[in-house]
Structure 1
């Protein structure tokens, strides 16, 4: 293998594939990146850890086609530091990387031990890449970080063929985030799958700069999800099981609604939460009829904080307490200037939505914290 490639193109391609590399590879060869210089003037770079695979290409002036398996994280660090055209030259058991006056010689990993990468199935449908990346990021804030229930570490993808929609959802049992997208050419019957949240978020972010993404939804649990971008393909093994049904959890009628400017509310929550002895100590929100939302944190002999912002309340005065981190996550996920809270009672979950948003926009269900007066 012998080729020349733009340093920025190489760094971007290597960086995309390297994010898939496992921190603790189940086999030494899975710490490598597979480089494949083809005769069509492209360098193909792939990574695989049995659960997630990355496959990307970059334009290159290929003199001699060839393949090599090289230490992935080391190559990523090197390519990120280069600033001139890069020359790759495979000679026996070493790969030479040259750019300007810099020269690196890398050992090779045994190519014959590298497993075959999975082949994604038939494309299910197409979405605008920025919209899909935004939707994934919005619901990913509710993905559980606990390992006790692995299915809660994922994002649910529900395809409704008749409605022509793809609904993304995530929950950690304390909040539930749901976002729906219309999509075209969705050819699969109704299906549900749960995809590991971190891997899906990384793949969606990497593809966000493109115009569109093609998705492959598996027909059964533990199947293979795939995302095709303009130059990238990522496959992710889906999780066994399903997320809890969310339709019955979201109330459709509210006894109280309140609208608040998001920026002002986030700043106030961050201020009053400073006095909490615990990171997740509750923040109490009191919505009053005079257009004021009072925020309180801290109790008894501990430090205490008070703040207030403007609100528009429809209904009787209401006091409710939330985990401040979970509240801030929901506010940050909204893309509008104001949030509308929907309440049924101070002890039941509240629904946060962007003010004047439609039914397909983000809905964020948040459990309150019960406090004794």
Structure 2
């Protein structure tokens, strides 16, 4: 193998593909990144049995070939290289990396032992990459990272043709988002894909960051979901089907509603939260024309700030874990946010300022002493 490639392209491809390499691989060979050169491109691949990643980049291929390299080392080497074109050449069990006057000889892993990557499901939908990133950013923060509760580590997608509902929960909050994509009809005897899927939230979050604006193809079956676009392809192993009835919990039936400027409320909660101790709440009192944000009174001191708001319904004081409230507020895609409440210890609804909001975030309130 002998390849010449632009350093910026190589760095970006190596960094993106390397995220699919497990920190503690099941077998040593899975610590590697597979490089395959053919035609006018270099393909980089990684796999950990749960997630696979492939990235194709343009390159000048003088000699085709393939090599398996330690992924973490390759990422660090590419970061350190000077800004010049890179030449990769395979010599027996060593891949020589030349860039300007710098040269590395990286020992390869046994390429024949590397497992075959799973075949991706046929595409069943097309979505803009920017919208996919937005949905992930709104939903994934609500999923737990506690892997002992697998059902809560996922984003649930329910698909009805071109209309999709997505949700995640960690038992203390639920984030829900509805959106539309373009359906790709099944061809020939190919079966229609399932009407729902459960995607591990951590893998979804890290994957979609690599897809910018432009068409992204989504395919899924009973075992895998695939995301492809811009020369990049990811497959993620799906989880089981059991999930809570999140739609019933995301209704808009509340006695008190407040409409507030999002940026102003976020800034206030962050400031006041500086004196909130780990186990204490930030308190929000919703009353005529304003929201009083308070915290502290313990060992760190106290703070209070008033934010203008349009409030309808009875006054109410609610306590929040600050980071949980901020996750919901930052998911709002309108200048103003609406908060719905039914009492001081009841869950609070956070939505966009719209009659039929597509984003809804239900967060548990803390009991106030």
Which category describes the TM-score, using the shorter chain as reference length?
A: over 0.9
Decide whether the 8 Å contact of 2:193 with 2:220 is kept in 1.
no
SS of 1:297's equivalent in the other structure is strand
Q: Distance in 2 between matches of 1:111 and 1:297?
A: 58
1:5 alignment counterpart:
5
- The RMSD of aligned alpha carbons is 1.5
The 5-angstrom pairing of residues 149-298 of structure 1 reads 149-161=149-161, 164-187=162-185, 188=192, 191-207=195-211, 209-218=212-221, 220=222, 223-278=223-278, 280-289=279-288, 291-298=289-296
The 5-angstrom pairing of residues 140-155 of structure 1 reads 140-155=140-155
TM-score, structure 2 normalization: 0.94
Decide whether the 8 Å contact of 1:193 with 1:242 is kept in 2.
no
Q: Distance in 1 between matches of 2:118 and 2:151?
A: 22
Are the structure 2 counterparts of residues 149 and 101 from structure 1 closer, same or farther at C-alpha, using a change threshold of 3 Å? same
Unmatched 5+ stretches in structure 2:
186-191
Unmatched 5+ stretches in structure 1:
none
1:125 alignment counterpart:
125
1:43 alignment counterpart:
42
Decide whether the 8 Å contact of 1:3 with 1:63 is kept in 2.
yes
Deviations along 1:291-347, one digit per CA (max 9) or x if unpaired, are 121112124676322221111001111111111110011111112211101123333
The 5-angstrom pairing of residues 268-347 of structure 1 reads 268-278=268-278, 280-289=279-288, 291-299=289-297, 303-347=301-345
Q: Distance in 1 between matches of 2:297 and 2:213?
A: 50
Decide whether the 8 Å contact of 1:210 with 1:230 is kept in 2.
no
Give the CA deviation at 1:80: 2.2
SS of 1:206's equivalent in the other structure is coil
Give the CA deviation at 1:226: 0.7
Decide whether the 8 Å contact of 2:138 with 2:331 is kept in 1.
yes
Are the structure 2 counterparts of residues 80 and 240 from structure 1 closer, same or farther at C-alpha, using a change threshold of 3 Å? same
Q: Distance in 1 between matches of 2:37 and 2:193?
A: 39
1:365 alignment counterpart:
362
1:67 alignment counterpart:
66
Deviations along 1:248-306, one digit per CA (max 9) or x if unpaired, are 1123322111011111111211222222221x5211111112x1211121246763222
Give the CA deviation at 1:19: 1.0
Equivalenced residues, count: 362
Q: Distance in 1 between matches of 2:193 and 2:54?
A: 27
Decide whether the 8 Å contact of 1:157 with 1:194 is kept in 2.
yes
2:188 alignment counterpart:
none
Q: Distance in 1 between matches of 2:300 and 2:13?
A: 52
Decide whether the 8 Å contact of 1:42 with 1:58 is kept in 2.
yes
SS of 1:247's equivalent in the other structure is helix
Decide whether the 8 Å contact of 1:166 with 1:180 is kept in 2.
yes
TM-score, structure 1 normalization: 0.93
Which deviates further from its counterpart, 148-157 or 43-52? 148-157
Q: Distance in 1 between matches of 2:151 and 2:194?
A: 20
Give the CA deviation at 1:116: 0.8
Decide whether the 8 Å contact of 1:160 with 1:189 is kept in 2.
no
Decide whether the 8 Å contact of 1:158 with 1:190 is kept in 2.
no
Are the structure 2 counterparts of residues 301 and 227 from structure 1 closer, same or farther at C-alpha, using a change threshold of 3 Å? closer
Deviations along 1:65-123, one digit per CA (max 9) or x if unpaired, are 10100111111111123211110100101000001111000001011211110001111
Are the structure 2 counterparts of residues 233 and 357 from structure 1 closer, same or farther at C-alpha, using a change threshold of 3 Å? farther
